[in-house]
Amino acid sequence: MTHLRRVTAVAMLALGVVPVTGVFPVAAAAKPATPDVVRPSANPVKLQSAPRPLSVTYTYEGQRRTLNDFLTRTKTNGFLVLDGQKIVSERYVDAGRDTRFQSWSMAKSITSAAVGIALRDGHIRSIDDPVTRYLPELRKSGYNGVSIRNLLRMSSGIEWDERNDVPRVQVAANKGRPVKKIAARQVQGWEPGSAFEYTSMNSFVLARLVSQATGTPYHRYLERKIWQPAGMADTAQIANDGNGDSLGYCCVYATERDFARFGLLYLRMGKANGRQVVPASWIKASTKSSSVNPRYGLHWWLGGEGERDFLAAGFGGQFIYVSPEHNVVVVKSTTSTTPPDQEEALTAFRAVAAEVAKTRR
């Protein structure tokens, strides 16, 4: 039986990797709209089960630590390691292979892929176009004249507090209020392109941009352009606001193996089953440092320190980590509501990737 990972009201307080305090009233947390269904591929990318023991230790903040301790301490429910297309490690706690885990802000990296495909197909002329070229409804908002590029690199200039504004938007979406109207009320607080400010509303606007530019509902575009051609094996679900708009900044429910396939897609420079799904040029651009934050690309976090690795990251410790150097993908899912230490996670994942390469037969 397929499981859907349940999420508490407390867990819904944030959708990125930014710590959040407080709780919204239970009365305000209305029942969310029914998620949209994204159907799988008829030709899934085959992942071969080839388990082998991985003895992983790493040093963080002067302490020697183990992978097992890290996974336990961070309340990990799903953990999967790919050596190319071989599953060398897969473990679950109170979950299983059929569990659909909540992506939280890992969804932002999926939204980025959708933008890149729409750009390739000519639906978007240039990411240096103002977003209002495609969403004229935002011309009276702080998004007026802001480039798509600045939304992608989290430099829109919108006056935004991720701690407090995301919960409010989520509550509104759960109540069936159109998030596009909230986007149209945003104001500009600083010069776009001059700084980095993690802003989930940017990702909602990008998902709506894809929908409007292509004339296709976001979830259906994702199905046709990513989920099926990338060879996903299971149905996914995507949350919406009840008014036809996918949230874009969060809430893709998928299996651990399909999240791994998405990481594999980026490891393979956008190719799956011999087909170019995401343009290789977009993969390169997305995983390259921006001028406003050396550790962030176009909706992807970067490892930095001279390394080429990168990761999608979500609230509570959800990660898709990609190591081109070692040909490894790591996926980690959790129901924890504790803000994750992304630097420790990166250190642990690098140790995993190195161990996979070391033990490769």
pLDDT at 338: 80
pLDDT at 30: 58
Long-range contacts of 64-70 (CB under 8 A, 24+ apart): 65/348, 67/348, 67/351, 67/352, 70/344, 70/345, 70/348
Q: Which residue has the higher pLDDT, 169 or 16?
A: 169
Residue 336 banded pLDDT, cuts 50, 70, 90:
confident
Among 76-85, 196-205, 229-238, 331-340, whose mean pLDDT is lowest? 331-340
Residue 291 banded pLDDT, cuts 50, 70, 90:
very high
Among 23-37, 129-143, 336-350, whose mean pLDDT is lowest? 23-37
pLDDT at 334: 93
Across the beta sheet with 101-102, the strand order is 36-38, 236-238, 252-254, 101-102
Q: Give the domain ranges of the chain.
A: 33-358
Q: What is the pLDDT of residues 167-176, one digit of tens each?
A: 999 999 999 9
Which superfamily, per CATH, for 33-358?
A: DD-peptidase/beta-lactamase superfamily (3.40.710.10)
Q: In the predicted model, is pLDDT for residue 4 greater than 50?
A: no
Helices (H), the chain: 67-73, 107-120, 148-152, 162-174, 179-183, 200-214, 218-222, 256-267, 280-286, 342-358
